Amino acid sequence: MTVENDCSSLEIRCPRLGSPVKFSYCIIESTGQPCIKSVSCWTPYFDISRLLTEKMGRDNFEIYFSKEPKPKIVTLIELIEKAREAAGRSKSDG
Amino acid sequence: MPVKIQLHEDEIPREWYNIVADLPHPLQPPLHPGTFQPIAPEDLAPVFPMNLIEQEASSERWIKIPDEVLEKLLIWRPTPLYRAVRLEEHLKCPVKIYYKNEGVSPAGSHKPNTAIPQAYYNKIFGVKRIATETGAGQWGSALSFACSQFGLEAKVYMVRVSYEQKPYRRLMMNTWGATCIPSPSTETEAGRSILAQDPNSPGSLGIAISEAVEDAVTSESFGRPLTRYSLGSVLNHVLLHQTVIGLEAKKQLEQVNDYPDVVIGCAGGGSNFAGISFPFVRDKIAGKKIDILAVEPLSCPTLTKGPFAYDFGDAVKMTPLMPMYTLGHAYVPAPIHAGGLRYHGMAPLVSQLVLDGLVEARAIPQLETFSAGVTWARTEGFISAPETNHALAAVIQEALKAKEEGKEKTILVNWSGHGLVDLAAYDAYFQGKLVDYEMLQEDIDCSLKCLEDYPKPKM
């Protein structure tokens, strides 16, 4: 089976969001990096590993996709700090 | 043979089971990213009430469920345990299949099991308002329902791409009195900074979490009612609250003198899996022979025919997926596939159980999961949430395996939610959009266009 020659047809169900997303959504997040699940999600459809290796460089690709995730609690602590900084900036601006 | 095994209201569990007390290898405490010291309760105080932080850190085996929480849980609990007799007849395998129906909650999933206690603990701590993020809305709707039960305000930051695609859960949130806005929004610094770069940003869970946390942390300084943040999965206290599922199931199976050989739950962040399985993991730690499967999505090539080819086995083993890569390339770094569940988004408690060999992680591709969901709907009648379909696919795999091995087995699965607001996903399946295919070179070239300006990550 093939797909239409149209990028807009490339949609899968995002396991994180629980709704369909396009390839372009997965490949670059607000951090400027691909979604950490992009390789496992898109591999059935094409050789995304090769594409990302070419784009990111092999070393960066390996480092990025094999890194251990931060515990959620640690992420929350970081977000608390960011929020405090943001609040401080808003107050000084306002 | 009863199809539904019910508990009376006075048989609802009075305590949650905390598996931390029984872990063979204790979890390492997460370290503060600034001090590299173990995170202290006060570090989390800006986002959680102290009573929930105490639960998060607790190692007490049993934690009393407050009467006020039980009173709300009784709206839909105890949930029925069903015998899937029609699926058994359809499969013609030597198995008994039981499923815990968590789709009967007001929000249609297991999520209110923790939303209710979280809202309660916030309420008694003096919190007036709870902020959270949601993807497609399952958690957001559960928390909205819970907040309405306790007279709390709820503010839900819903990832914009889902907000625009999935109006029904948003409308559920609104109906329960919550405010649901698309993320990124103009209401937080985090949202504004993203919109300044890209006014059409579709959002992401990461951005939505940032907004919800900022909302909570800055509430007092900006004159909003006292606000805290709430999370629907991953954390210890969330998994703790879900154990009512497995505790009820044990009592219900006792009624029919049965006990499972296999317990199955789907595992996104781990909460519904924990809910059905942790009370049985306790038995396994004590020596009971039982298989416990955490099923996660796998979107990898399905080039082997056998249904068990997708089994990751031990989380630290790397090879099972490798033979699947035959799409013309030879290189996939092994660490990416080193055991699925221990990677991104999974609860540390579940990951630890996988590493300890108490839980088996299994990954199933989406096509197989929808096929299982359709089989389920056409036998048992209920239309499952797409996440739940992962567990159902594993049930079918286990049933076929039992037939192949000539063994009689009892299977228990958590039917974690209905799919009545996810019918678009079924539509995509029926239209063939989810069929696995190998892309043509022209398709790849087309996809590559969105990579042209791809920035190299800074390491």
* DSSP character string of B57-106: H---SEEEPPHHHHHHHTTTPSPPEEE-HHHHHHHT-SEEEEEEEGGGST
Q: Do A55 and B456 touch (CB under 8 A)?
A: yes
Nearest to A62 among B33, B333, B436 (CB): B333
Q: Taking 80 as the threshold, does the pLDDT of residue B324 lie above it?
A: no
Minimal CA separation from A56 to chain B, in Å: 5
Q: Taking 80 as the threshold, does the pLDDT of residue B297 lie above it?
A: no
Residue with tokens 């009892």: B410
Q: Are B213 and B205 in contact (CB under 8 A)?
A: no
What integer is the mean pLDDT of B227-246? 97
User: Which tokens is B440 given?
Assistant: 């043509």
Q: What is the pLDDT of residue B247?
A: 98
Euclidean distance between the first and final Cα of chain A, in Å?
57
pLDDT one-digit tens code per residue, A74-89: 999 999 999 998 877 7
Q: What is the pLDDT of residue B441?
A: 53
Minimal CA separation from B394 to chain A, in Å: 17
Q: Do A87 and B386 touch (CB under 8 A)?
A: no
Q: Do A23 and B447 touch (CB under 8 A)?
A: yes
Euclidean distance between the first and final Cα of chain B, in Å?
61
Nearest to A5 among B297, B348, B446 (CB): B446
Minimal CA separation from B305 to chain A, in Å: 15
Residue type, B424: A
Residue with tokens 């959002």: B203
Chain B, residues 218-277, CB within 8 A of chain A, namely: 218, 221-222, 229, 231, 234-235, 268
- Measured between alpha carbons, how far is A28 from B450 in angstroms, rounded to an integer? 9
| Closest A-chain CA to B457 | A33
H or E element, residue B47: none
Q: What is the pLDDT of residue A24?
A: 82
CA B400 to chain centre: 25
Instruction: Output B200-204 pairs: Cβ under 8 A, ≥24 positions apart.
Output: B201/A30, B201/B160, B202/A21, B202/A25, B202/B159, B202/B160, B202/B161, B203/B159, B203/B160, B203/B161, B203/B163, B204/A29, B204/A30, B204/A35, B204/B159
Tell me the mean pLDDT per 10 residues along chain A, length 94. 41 82 82 84 79 88 82 92 84 66
User: Which tokens is B77 given?
Assistant: 């609990």
Alpha helices in B348-407 (DSSP H): 348-355, 366-379, 386-405
Nearest to A56 among B221, B442, B457 (CB): B457
Say if B433 is an interface residue toward chain A (CB within 8 Å).
yes
- Measured between alpha carbons, how far is B230 from A93 in angstroms, rounded to an integer? 29
- Measured between alpha carbons, how far is B457 from B210 in angstroms, rounded to an integer? 21
* ipTM metric: 0.85
Nearest to B39 among A49, A66, A73 (CB): A73
What integer is the mean pLDDT of B141-153? 98
- Measured between alpha carbons, how far is B50 from B48 in angstroms, rounded to an integer? 6
pTM: 0.87
Chain B residues in contact with A26 (beta carbon < 8 A): none
H or E element, residue B169: helix B167-175
